[in-house]
Amino acid sequence: MEKQVCIIVPVKNTSSQFESCVSSISALNYSNLELIIVDDSKEAELKIPIDNSNNKIKILYSRGKGPSYARNLAAKNTDAYFLAFMDSDCIADKNLIHELLRGFELYPDAAACGGIQGLPVDATNFEKQVFLFLQKAGFITDYIKKSNKQGIIRVVHNASCCVVYKRSIFLEAGGFLEGLWPGEDVELDYRLCRKGYNLYFNPKAIVYHHRPKCLLGFLIMMYRYGISCGILTRMYGIFRKIQSVPFLALAAAVLLLLAFSFHFLSVFLIIAGAALCLLFIYVGLSVPVFFLACAAGIFWNLGFLKGLIKAIKK
């Protein structure tokens, strides 16, 4: 018999993407499902375009307390064995739940199993560039994982837009850190790994994730990512590759100042330019994605600095 899975989707502003998200969940080929939508708007309740008469669908209200609180609220309001988390701008592949649960079938010790993020068929050109940037940056961020031929593998982190946890373990760990977003999934997975739990990743489990549709939205996203990474660095120290980026950038700035002071600026710039070009070729960035990466680096690092001194508001 299929164990019950509760899919949890926090939402703040309804859109055509959210409607597509709900429709894709309705089309999943897994029968024992419950859907909990958490309206996180502060004031007026959103009009959510679903049939509330369906007893397998719940709508909860978190009153603007953030996605982490919203997800935890839903987790406490279900008896399902598994908790599946998705974002409201994601489209689920019809086999998503079956593939995520395969991780638990093959590895009974699994606390969680995550999947891959694909590009929606209706993505705009700007979304495609953002997706390519995030994909290329995956080697250091561990955010978008690439498909691999190894099948299901053990990992240290899965993004909360495409992951299933055992509910008992999720609740025992205290759920997501409320007041932290984004990065709440990184923080939870870090705690679970420190406690000895194992996390897995199945590249056949797919959601198609929409991205910011304009440069301003992208820069705000990167700034927020930087803030959360700074907060986590202050809390736990450096435990991810990306957390070393600000310190490497600072070292590069110091070298630049030294080069300028000793009149070796031209030599330094030639060496730095050559290194940058080699990285450009090695990673395979297109020109638009390269400039996105530069802009992202600036705003992410600014956010990181703020995160180092920012207190989490619960």
pLDDT surpassing 70 at residue 313: no
Question: Quick one: pLDDT band at residue 280, thresholds 50, 70, 90?
Answer: low
Domains of the chain: 5-213 (3.90.550.10), 218-309 (no CATH)
pLDDT digits (tens, 9 = 90+) for 259-268: 566 555 555 5
pLDDT digits 0-9 by tens, 188-212 = 999 999 999 999 999 999 999 999 9
**Cβ neighbours of residue 84 closer than 8 Å, sequence gap 6 or more:** 5, 6, 7, 8, 96, 97, 100, 163, 164
> Which two three-digit tokens encode residue 274?
């050559």
The candidate with the shortest Cα–Cα distance to 184, out of 85, 68, 300, 310, is 68
pTM for the model stands at 0.84
108 or 47, greater pLDDT:
108
Question: How many angstroms separate the CA atoms of 104 and 240, rounded?
Answer: 25
Q: Which two tokens stand for residue 126?
A: 């700007």
